[in-house]
Amino acid sequence: MGEIDGSYRVLQTPGTRLGAQFNAGISTLEPGQSLSGNMISGSRSQGRGLHIRVQGLDDSQEFFDIDPKAPAQTLLSEVFLRGNLMESDYFGLEFQNMQMNWVWLEPIKPVAKQVRRPSNTLFRLSVKFFPPDPGQLQEEYTRYLFSLQMKRDLMEGRLICTENTGALLASHLVQSEIGDYDDVADRDFLRVNKLLPYQEKVQERIMELHRRHLGQTPAESDFQILEIARKLEMYGVRYHPAADREGTKINLAVSHMGLQVFQGNTKINTFNWSKIRKLSFKRKRFLIKLYPEVHGPHQDTLEFMMASRDQCKIFWKICVEYHSFFRLFDQPQPKSKAILFTRGSSFRYSGRTQKQLVEYVRENGAKRTPYQRRNSKIRMSARSVATDVPKQSLSFNDSLRAQGSPSSATVSFYPAQSPLHSSLPQLSPHNPKGPLCLSPSFQMSTLSLPGQAPSPLQSPILSEVGSNAKLEEEEEGRRKRYPTDKAYFIAKEILTTERTYLKDLEVITVWFRSAVIKENAMPEGLMTLLFSNIDPIYEFHRGFLKELDQRLALWWGRSNAHVKGDYQRIGDVMLRNMCALKEFTSYLQKHDEVLTELEKATKRLKKLETVYKEFELQKVCYLPLNTFLLKPIQRLMHYKLILERLCKHYSPSHRDHDDCKEALKEVAEIATQLQSSLIRLENFQKLTELQRDLIGIENLTAPGREFIREGCLYKLTKKGLQQRMFFLFSDMLLYTSKGVTATNQFKVHGQLPLHGMIVEESENEWSVPHCFTIYSAQRTIVVAASSKVEMGKWIEDLNLAIEMSKKSQEKSSIFLDPGFGDHSNRSSDEVSLEQESEDDMNSSRTSLDKQTHHRANTTMHVCWHRNTSVSMSDHSLAVENQLSGYLLRKFKNSNGWQKLWVVFTNFCLFFYKTHQDDFPLASLPLLGYTVSTPEESDSIHKEYVFKLQFKSHVYFFRAESEYTFERWMEVIKSAASTAGRMSLLIPKGGPMEMNGN
């Protein structure tokens, strides 16, 4: 029986419950307990009630008398009823077991069967489920209790943060407890109340920060505490010690989004619920089974060793509850009893889901008397404030109305205060509305809760189209009441793009590392070279992002709109970090070597090549893999451009101007050092990308070769004009057709050396619009472009490339074999008219089928489908113009707006539900689209809206400010329209009068 495991499996059939099919009597006794001991304890209690002591979040203690045979839910209901706590399902009672570990009291089982001596045990009320955003807490009293939980976590060393952040949190706690700053009262309060382990060290800083919160209500202080806390990596984290297969000590934790792995206090991995197929434990082993597509078909089960079977089970139970609470739509249904023997643990989550809880509070909260807090101006100790038991809870007050959260679809449910109850049978997680599957297409954030609006600083939950109407009105009203300086939105661009940048680094540091380690596919020397260069950069930017996040969170908000504090600037943060970034120049200079060695190794090692190609097909690798290795150097260019905009915006007398100017000087110095390296790396990256997508050409990355333009042209053949994909390099012109097999690769049909090539317009000769002829030493071809602009760009770039090739000293060594194709014995003035038979196509099918399936969203594929072209200059400009942020999206025929996290890169918009998602849900290639402001006939009567259109496809997007609207228009124009993209001959920033007609 020792090998029987507790498991938690998600099956694909509608209505099928989560978990094992049978119950085989897994023990639910606490470590150290025996069956006889429990029976004795229970018998002693019979005939009289249990006297239970419960400590509140304010440290006050109360006593409750319950029937020994009653389920623990009776005690929980009494605690919630006496405290008049409406959003009760976020909370639970915990106690220390024999091993001094904090364990949650299970509602279904009697207290006496879970605790050895209940009357001698201290139970404490604690937050059990931490939502990702405080905006999801609808009642002021609930947020007050959450802020007390943050206070407890700070003091117990669970909520780890910098001393400055700790002081900031403490200052809001002081404001919440005693009101506005007073030197004597502050010192008295901090002498009596311990808020931080290192309080004496930062006391003056706490008081200095408290002085800035003038006029802030207790409710606003609580919200600020939660806003700051939720952005900390350790928010809601509860460690469960374990070890990996190599014996390395790690800590496991569970959150709303899935399982987290920490090494020390550093999070090294997150497994979203959408990636987890099953959770189970066998003795001391805790097992996570992933979907095959996450880590490939092999080794998809992760194994961790914990100190004991009981600790395994405790953590497993918490995972089951977290998953059920945040991921299920409806209350889990009762579990049917086994007839004889069963296998697996019988434990199931027995409460409401978050979705049901939010809906219940929305339906019933308005009937309640508002919760009255004491006036913050009255000086009092934390204990006296905390022990003031609230009469009722307050639904969102006006001061926080704009910071609401989404709520849920309608579900009728029993009231929170009804005794829940001894009559409830054991519950199991069902989903009567359909299959509950942990698939990549269903993430926790799909639990959108329509009706209320997210805070401007929160991570929104994606809701259905039409559910954001209130969000628009509230944010628009807020924006008009509290106009924000343009500098805030420029600084916010640094924050939003930094979030995307860090996620891009994780593609290498977390996901790719995991893939190569699992298959043992990369030589140790290359592993060291790759990760010793990128890991320190990743760690630096994690810290930098936290600083940006905290500064921007404090910059703009109703509570400080009337105060002009030191936090309403960004130059000091940028200067400090740009100076620190100089130390990483040596790492950045090695990226050239890293990219080259990785490419060599993939050619040499079949196993690594396979892992590389398979990894590129995963959703998390939304761009060609080696582009992520260029991100650190490209990021320097982004800092430079954004700081230039800030310096241009500020007047020389502005207090932030000098710091921004100095930060710009620092980053410009690093960028200048690495500029030539970046140009070389971008060219090498493009050549290696093309090498993987083209069949019939070897050694594309030959020394000295430069990529110039790729795009679609129509080639004259015996069948007429046939679509071909052309690739222009500094020494040759390739043309290809799209493969007819399952792969997305292109097959090379011809290669023309540039040496001796002549290009002429020939519309009149062939009576084909936008037609030109290419004469080479080996063959002559006639091609047609999709527009006059496209033809002009090709001719200009071809002529320039021909001139460049004349100066090259490496011409003869890079030609293909003269026997390539069918052009021997052909005079240079004879036009080549290809005629590819079905036999020719089929003959290549066998070899093509052996190739790995390639990405279908690379630039060449988009050029093929949109009948356009892109130059290397366009690629470089697109790198500079990367942008991220939240936008409201509306389809042409829909009524409502949908809030999405949008990333612009590589001529494409990538859509996520929130910035925390690991991979995009959809993408929109912009090549060929037009961008404009809405017309009168579109009936869009909102500010900052732009319109995207390609043929009959129409989308509307709404930005949050004039600055962000202009930025989105700018970057999309650079990528979408033909006129926006450049010929090699047109300098950056030059005139772009040409249109796409």
CATH of the domain at 89: 3.10.20.90
Q: Decide if pLDDT at 548 tops 80.
A: yes
CATH code, domain carrying 146: 1.20.80.10
Pair 328, 215 in one domain: no
Pair 637, 707 in one domain: no
Pair 160, 261 in one domain: no
| Paired residues of 62 in beta bridges | 54
pTM: 0.54
pLDDT value for 91: 94
Among residues 271, 426, 300, 312, the alpha carbon closest in space to that of 4 is found at 312
In a domain, 42, yes or no: no
DSSP conformational letter for 347: -
- Among the three residues 168, 199, 230, which one is the final residue of a domain in this structure? 230
Confidence band of 18 (pLDDT split at 50, 70, 90): very low
CATH code, domain carrying 891: 2.30.29.30
Mean pLDDT of 483-488: 79
In a domain, 456, yes or no: no
In a domain, 368, yes or no: no
How confident is the model over 773-818, as pLDDT tens digits?
999 888 899 999 988 999 999 999 999 999 888 876 444 444 333 3
Phi/psi class of residue 32: alpha, beta or left (left: φ > 0; alpha: ψ in -120 to 50)?
left
Q: Decide if pLDDT at 93 tops 50.
A: yes
Q: Which residues contact residue 367 at a Cβ distance below 8 angstroms, ignoring those fewer than 6 apart?
A: none
In a domain, 369, yes or no: no
Pair 502, 524 in one domain: yes
Pair 176, 292 in one domain: no
Pair 886, 965 in one domain: yes
Q: Decide if pLDDT at 659 tops 60.
A: yes
Domain that holds residue 545: 486-693
Domain count, the chain: 6
Question: Above pLDDT 70, what percent of the chain?
Answer: 72
How confident is the model over 353-408, as pLDDT tens digits?
888 888 888 777 655 545 555 443 333 333 333 333 333 333 323 333 333 333 32
CB 164 within 8 A of CB 208: no
Angstrom distance (rounded) from CA 137 to CA 369: 18
- One-letter amino acid at 163 equals E
Pair 62, 79 in one domain: yes
In a domain, 861, yes or no: no
Q: Decide if pLDDT at 980 tops 80.
A: no
pLDDT value for 735: 93
Q: Decide if pLDDT at 668 tops 50.
A: yes
Pair 689, 744 in one domain: no
Angstrom distance (rounded) from CA 347 to CA 317: 7
Q: Decide if pLDDT at 89 tops 70.
A: yes
Angstrom distance (rounded) from CA 876 to CA 805: 22
Select the more confidently predicted residue: 23 or 294.
294
Pair 571, 656 in one domain: yes
In a domain, 430, yes or no: no
CB 89 within 8 A of CB 159: no
In a domain, 865, yes or no: no
How confident is the model over 307-340, as pLDDT tens digits?
988 889 999 999 999 998 888 876 656 555 444 3
- Among the three residues 277, 311, 332, which one is the final residue of a domain in this structure? 332
Pair 574, 672 in one domain: yes
How confident is the model over 560-604, as pLDDT tens digits?
444 555 678 899 999 999 999 988 888 888 888 899 899 999 989
CATH code, domain carrying 590: 1.20.900.10
Question: Above pLDDT 90, what percent of the chain?
Answer: 37
pLDDT value for 330: 65
E-assigned strand segments in 298-373: 301-305, 333-334
- One-letter amino acid at 261 equals V
CB 889 within 8 A of CB 898: yes
Q: Decide if pLDDT at 609 tops 60.
A: yes
DSSP conformational letter for 921: S
For residue 221, give the H/E element and its range. helix 218-230
Q: What is the mean pLDDT of the chain?
A: 75
Select the more confidently predicted residue: 834 or 743.
743
In a domain, 459, yes or no: no
Pair 676, 710 in one domain: no
DSSP conformational letter for 139: B
Select the more confidently predicted residue: 884 or 588.
884
Q: Decide if pLDDT at 447 tops 80.
A: no
Confidence band of 721 (pLDDT split at 50, 70, 90): confident
Q: Decide if pLDDT at 251 tops 60.
A: yes
- Among the three residues 810, 834, 864, which one is the final residue of a domain in this structure? 810
pLDDT value for 148: 94
Select the more confidently predicted residue: 22 or 599.
599
Instruction: Give whole-number Cα distances, 754 to 709, 726, 761, 766, 975, in Å.
Output: 14, 14, 17, 23, 28
Instruction: Give whole-number Cα distances, 589 to 192, 512, 543, 667, 674, in Å.
Output: 54, 21, 22, 15, 7
Q: Decide if pLDDT at 33 tops 50.
A: no
CB 947 within 8 A of CB 932: yes
Report the 10 Å Cβ neighbour count for 810: 13
Confidence band of 239 (pLDDT split at 50, 70, 90): very high
Pair 624, 519 in one domain: yes
Give the DSSP per-residue string, 19-67.
S-S-------PPTT--HHHHHHHHHHHTTS-EEEEEE-TTS-EEEEEE-
CB 223 within 8 A of CB 230: no
Q: CA-based angle 668:673:677, to the nearest 5?
A: 120
